[in-house]
Amino acid sequence: MRIKFEEQLANLNSSLIEMGAMVEQAIADAIKALIEQDVELAQKIFDSDDELDNKEKELESLCLKLLLQQQPVARDLRLVSSVLKMITDLERIGDHAQDISELTILLAGKPYIKKLEHIPQMAEVTTKMVTKSIESFVKKDLGLAREVIASDDTVDDLYDMVKKDLIELIKENPENGNQAIDLVMIAKYFERIGDHATNIAEWVDFSLTGTHKAIRIM
């Protein structure tokens, strides 16, 4: 029975890594499309939601099979329960990549009112957070999970910089307002991606320690 559980768990890990890679690529393509004002690439991301949704359903099915067939308890139950939460966050990260792409399409055709600096930095940090959060689960690395959680402050700081810079541009010229608001929204989506990566890391912490947001259970 235990051997079968380990085989199913290995399959779950592989599928989770695949979903993580899909999300990482979506973030990379979203920021590339934004910087280069590549409408075709942005549209491709916007149209790719079904693939990620199907992967989410596949992972949900694997988790439910584990719960029903193996009836895990204690740490094993925490682990499978955590994956169910993590895939929801991964799916939402994919949704935010789509949101960014939608705004990229709306912004196309006009030069940016400011050179994009902090938003690409946000994309780089959040992508690393997603990668590390999945890696921490597969490797059962609590230290790596907590690195991800700590990185969320960096994303928040960058988001504050974006808002400050764009508010100043609106003050200088109110005509900058519409584009500035769209760019702030894009930064907000990256900030939310960081939040979801942090959520994943917190579920890794829970799967390993039984503690989530100061509540010890299971």
At 192-204, the pLDDT tens digits run 999 999 999 999 9
In CATH, what number is assigned to the domain containing residue 133? 1.20.58.220
Query: What is the rounded average pLDDT for all residues in the chain?
Result: 92
Contact, 78 vs 63, CB < 8 A? no
212 Ramachandran zone, left/alpha/beta (phi>0; psi -120 to 50) = beta
How many domains, the chain?
Answer: 1
pLDDT for res 217: 46
> Which residues contact residue 97 at a Cβ distance below 8 angstroms, ignoring those fewer than 6 apart?
23, 26, 27, 29, 30, 45, 189, 193
Length of the chain: 218
pLDDT for res 214: 47
Put simply, whether the predicted model's pTM sits higher than 0.95 gets the answer no
Express each pLDDT in 95-128 by its tens digit. Answer: 999 999 999 999 998 999 999 999 999 999 999 9
Express each pLDDT in 145-161 by its tens digit. Answer: 999 999 999 999 999 99
| Residue recorded with tokens 């700081």 | 157
Contact, 78 vs 218, CB < 8 A? yes
Using CB atoms within 10 A of its CB, is residue 10 exposed (0-12), middle (13-18) or buried (19+)?
exposed
The helix (H) or strand (E) run that includes residue 211 is strand 211-212
pLDDT for res 42: 96
The letter for the amino acid at 117 is: E
Using CB atoms within 10 A of its CB, is residue 113 exposed (0-12), middle (13-18) or buried (19+)?
middle
With cut-offs at 50, 70 and 90, classify the pLDDT of residue 1.
Answer: low
Q: Which domain holds residue 192?
A: 2-216
Contact, 97 vs 26, CB < 8 A? yes
User: H helices of the chain, where?
Assistant: 2-36, 39-46, 49-70, 74-107, 118-139, 142-172, 177-209
